[in-house]
A and B are shown apart, each in its own frame.
Chain A
Amino acid sequence: MPLLNEFSMPEFHIDGEPVEFEPGEKIISAALRCGKVIPHYCYHPGMSVVATCRMCLVDVTDLGNGHPAPKLQTACSMDAAEGMKIETLNQKVEEGRKLVNEFLLVNHPLDCPICDQSGECALQDYAFEYGSGKSEMDYSKRVSGWRDIGTFVALERNRCIQCSRCDRFTREITGTNEFGMFNRGHELTVDTYADRPMTNKFQGNMADICPVGAITEKEFRFKRRVWKLKKNHSICTGCSTGCNVTIEHDRNEIFRLKPHENQSVNKWWLCDEGRLTYRMMNERKTRIHQPLGRVDGKLEGISWNEAYGAIAERVSEMSPLPQEVLALTDTHASNEELFLLQKLLKDIFSTENIFCPLPNWEQSESDFFINTLITSDKTPNRAGALALKIKGDAKTAKLKKAVESDPKVVFVLGNPFEAESEIQEQLKRAQLVVHLGIFHNSWSEIADVVLPGQYYSEKDGTFTNKNQRVQATEIAVQALRRTRPEWQIIAELSKALGRENTFASSAQVFNAMTQEVKAFKGLSYENLGGLGSVLTKKTRDSGMKVVKAQI
């Protein structure tokens, strides 16, 4: 008999292999956690158990008391018990799955060739895996028709398998209750109440959790077959929550963002606004495509070396005093970029004149977790700027003083203070304005040198979310040919200005930051992993206001 540790978790057996479970856990949950395959449609870990699809049938050969269960049991509704023995591969289970699958397909239109879910459809996958491959149904199929339920998702009810995930989503996750099940029996179908359009801000999730092609995203429909998409893990930069996403792209074009499960950030969800940020990733018209320099009052294309050379030349001509140098940044920049810019100012110009906009923002409070995902702070790295002690706002005296004291050299990263035209008016008079940015904006208009950066999907970096969690993004697509990631630009600029450094990757920058910045101590780029890590020393955000969420 094995020695039992007092703290060891209880075990049960699936196909002869031991699986640990937490008391009260369902069989399917423990099984999926341990990498076992149990097909299912209606079960979703974030929602209540309804046990209606009947696909997760398993054979309980021993209930833990030596007796078998009288018939096949649904793994989603049965509690795991110590000593329980479960078989998922025997003939009885196979037959059970086959018959459920047959029932599901009798009224399914099987329009896979024109269905957008094809390739990521649970019904399709399980029908191939467990189905019999033929149908004895020779009557005309049920027709419920499509419904226009709003701008974000399309509803094609003929494909519906009545798993009720979408119904439970609006009841249990968003609490908006605008969507539900109608009619009964064979005519059971889904729709919105009173013919109204959907109202919640998280409709894209309904397309994600729909196991078939009944609910699909209008934004993505008919754009690309899903098996062509390549996937990269990243962070949604639409607001300061930092939801984990998967960027799905093909041939250097991004097609959609899907939520990536992270229990400490966004669980399984992503808001619709976040999903739409993919549009900016494909934006080309307003992008800065190459370094630009002002020649006779007009911006003209120059090479990177020319740009760095010109900046170094002007700076050495002017040799500005510390108070004559100013850097402005927005909080869209990654931790590494902010850190390097701060370092550049400190090392070369011995100044701490670096400012970013830190407006007040609202965090919503709600009984429904999902409502807390959307914040009014639409920048991804406010907490990072705070942790680096980059201060300031349009109204702070320090910034005012720095702007009004006629600085000679100004570095602008991104698009800070875009609404404060008086700051721009004032800084126009500076002798050298360097703009590092992705898009053309009012700063690039007044800049003397413009250095083109890269968008989130094109570079890697780390962002600190509103809960002080540092998370990393991956390079998903190839960047424009003559752009460079901002951290590299700042590192090269620093080199051009006479300060040697050895940063070859953003990981190196991050690890240098963990050495030099107190708040980041103890973290390492390698350990961020997929889930991120929380800052050891939290910074207080005085701009946050907690408000009641409006549904």
Chain B
Amino acid sequence: MLEETLVLFKNIRNTKYDKSLAAYKKSGGYKSLKKVFGMKPEDVVQEVKESGIRGRGGAGFPTGLKWSFMAKGTGKPSYLVANADESEPGTCKDRELMLKDPHLFLEGMMIGCYAVGCHHGYIYVRGEFFPSIKILNAAVDELYADGLLGPDPLGSGFNLDLTIHTGAGAYICGEESALLDSLEGKRGQPRVKPPFPAVSGFNGCPTSVNNVETLACMPFIFSEGGVDAFKSFGPQNNSGTHLVSLSGHVNRPGVYELRMDVNMKDIIYDIGGGIRNGKKLKGVIPGGSSSPVMKADEVDVLYNFDDLAKIGAMMGSAAIMVFDEDTDIVKLLHRITRFYAHESCGQCTPCREGTQWTKQIVRDFLSGNGSEEKLKRLDRVGGNMLGTSLCALGDAAAMPIQSFVNKFPEEFRKYYATA
């Protein structure tokens, strides 16, 4: 029987935990921060590098490396921005952390701020997360009252302020440069890269944008023996535990904390308790709606960044969406294309026009106007979006389209064969 490995969820799985500062401190909280304050920032970054942690937001970029890229000696302030704009369909892990253990995340945030030399950190929370915003605000108030935030926390001499900023409801603002634009008060639109945020980010200053879960790993990494323990949770280059959002037609959907050397099949059948109503598995979207779909016979694979990449899938934000044999693939794709057409910011041509056009073509199948020609066109237009857009949203919209068309063509044919 596969079990969770509790690192991030240590407190959350404790039914008596009440997420207050006192409770968090009682469970050993803010000890790592104290330890970090005794280290040099360069050593903190080095330690994070050694832990091998990769960003949990979707791209899987090594966090230590990202922090080491921060421009130094520019005479400008550095910033750390926590990306809590969790809006990838199927993903709900950051929300769990913020709702049930805000101090774990805030401690990680403070460690990150110290590492990159940021004296004013921002937390960009998705606007629809009202309870999370409320809880985070309360937790930050607690920290100020306790003296952990503000001037000279824990006698470190390192002044630190945190501001919670709420988004206004755009998926694209989860993209780091669009997030920074939004934070600055502009339209949330991805910027041209380079320059990367580490050189010119928030208000043109060096900025690091990190996912909530990534930051929440920091207290563990800086606990006693944390780095080695963290590395032992997964194969090479895929260290640590991670939160998997399991949803769809499984018996026990939810957010689970798992090691990185766990088989995806076991996640579905063991952790998730198998397919609902004893049905058969048809396919899985392995990493949020923007990842290519996997067929039922492909799911026997280790669920981590590298093993999924090897078979042409991606782990993304670790959101597994399971669908059973009764699922209508075309309707599913229609839902996904509708999402991307709605959320495209519209600034660059392939994404603006492509997301809308593909949505219209998929709708044609649903309304009985499909044809072989349109299926080819769907594949072609989707492919044209891939790799030509300014940010990753064009790719994110294209990958499901191409994979759905190539892996389930008979589902589309069913629609126009019967019509």
**Residue pair B377, A188 in contact (C-beta under 8 Å):** no
> Given contacts A162-B346, A164-B347, A184-B345, are A104 and B387 in contact (CB under 8 A)?
no
**Residue pair B344, A54 in contact (C-beta under 8 Å):** no
* Distance in angstroms between the alpha carbons of A100 and B349 in the assembled complex: 7
Docked complex: A144-163 residues within 8 A CB-CB of B: 161-162
**Which residues in B have some Cβ–Cβ distance to A below 8 Å?**
170, 172, 187, 192, 194, 341-350, 352-357, 360, 377, 384, 387-390
**Residue pair A185, B348 in contact (C-beta under 8 Å):** no
**Residue pair B170, A104 in contact (C-beta under 8 Å):** no
**Residue pair B377, A136 in contact (C-beta under 8 Å):** yes
Contact partners of A128 in chain B: CB under 8 A: none
**Residue pair B346, A57 in contact (C-beta under 8 Å):** no
Q: Say if the beta carbon of A284 comes within 8 Å of chain B.
A: no
Docked complex: A260-301 residues within 8 A CB-CB of B: none
How many chain A residues sit at the interface, stated as a range, is: 20 to 34
Contact partners of A136 in chain B: CB under 8 A: 377
Minimum Cβ distance to chain B for residue A93 (Å): 12
**Residue pair B356, A99 in contact (C-beta under 8 Å):** no
> Given contacts A50-B347, A72-B388, are A186 and B353 in contact (CB under 8 A)?
yes
Write the chain B residue with the least CB distance to A142: B356
Task: Tell which of A72, A77, A102, A162 touches B347, judged by Cβ atoms closer than 8 Å.
Answer: A162
> Given contacts A52-B390, A99-B388, are A186 and B356 in contact (CB under 8 A)?
yes
> Given contacts A51-B192, A103-B384, A137-B357, are A185 and B349 in contact (CB under 8 A)?
no
Minimum Cβ distance to chain B for residue A69 (Å): 11
**Residue pair A53, B349 in contact (C-beta under 8 Å):** yes
**Residue pair B388, A107 in contact (C-beta under 8 Å):** no
9 smallest A-B Cβ distances: which pairs? A188-B346, A186-B356, A103-B353, A185-B344, A99-B384, A52-B348, A185-B346, A52-B347, A71-B387
User: What are 15 A-B contacts defined by CB distance under 8 Å?
Assistant: A51-B348, A52-B348, A53-B349, A57-B388, A100-B349, A103-B352, A103-B384, A104-B349, A142-B356, A184-B345, A185-B343, A185-B345, A186-B344, A186-B346, A188-B345
Minimum Cβ distance to chain A for residue B64 (Å): 24
Task: Tell which of B341, B388, B390 touches A185, judged by Cβ atoms closer than 8 Å.
Answer: B341
> Given contacts A107-B353, A184-B170, A186-B353, are A53 and B348 in contact (CB under 8 A)?
yes
Q: Say if the beta carbon of A96 comes within 8 Å of chain B.
A: yes
* Distance in angstroms between the alpha carbons of A51 and B343 in the assembled complex: 19
**Residue pair B387, A72 in contact (C-beta under 8 Å):** yes
**Residue pair A187, B384 in contact (C-beta under 8 Å):** no
Query: Per-residue 0/1 for A25-52: is the Cβ within 8 Å of any B Cβ (1 yes, 0 no)?
Result: 0000000000000000000000001111
Contact partners of A79 in chain B: CB under 8 A: 194
**Residue pair B390, A104 in contact (C-beta under 8 Å):** no
* Distance in angstroms between the alpha carbons of A136 and B360 in the assembled complex: 12
Q: Say if the beta carbon of A106 comes within 8 Å of chain B.
A: yes
Contact partners of B388 in chain A: CB under 8 A: 54, 57, 71-72, 96, 99-100
Q: Say if the beta carbon of A183 comes within 8 Å of chain B.
A: yes
**Residue pair B344, A50 in contact (C-beta under 8 Å):** no
**Residue pair B352, A188 in contact (C-beta under 8 Å):** yes
**Residue pair B192, A49 in contact (C-beta under 8 Å):** yes
Contact partners of A51 in chain B: CB under 8 A: 192, 348, 390
Task: Tell which of B172, B349, B350, B387 touches A161, judged by Cβ atoms closer than 8 Å.
Answer: B349
* Distance in angstroms between the alpha carbons of A103 and B389 in the assembled complex: 12
Docked complex: A99-125 residues within 8 A CB-CB of B: 99-100, 102-104, 106-107
**Residue pair A103, B350 in contact (C-beta under 8 Å):** yes
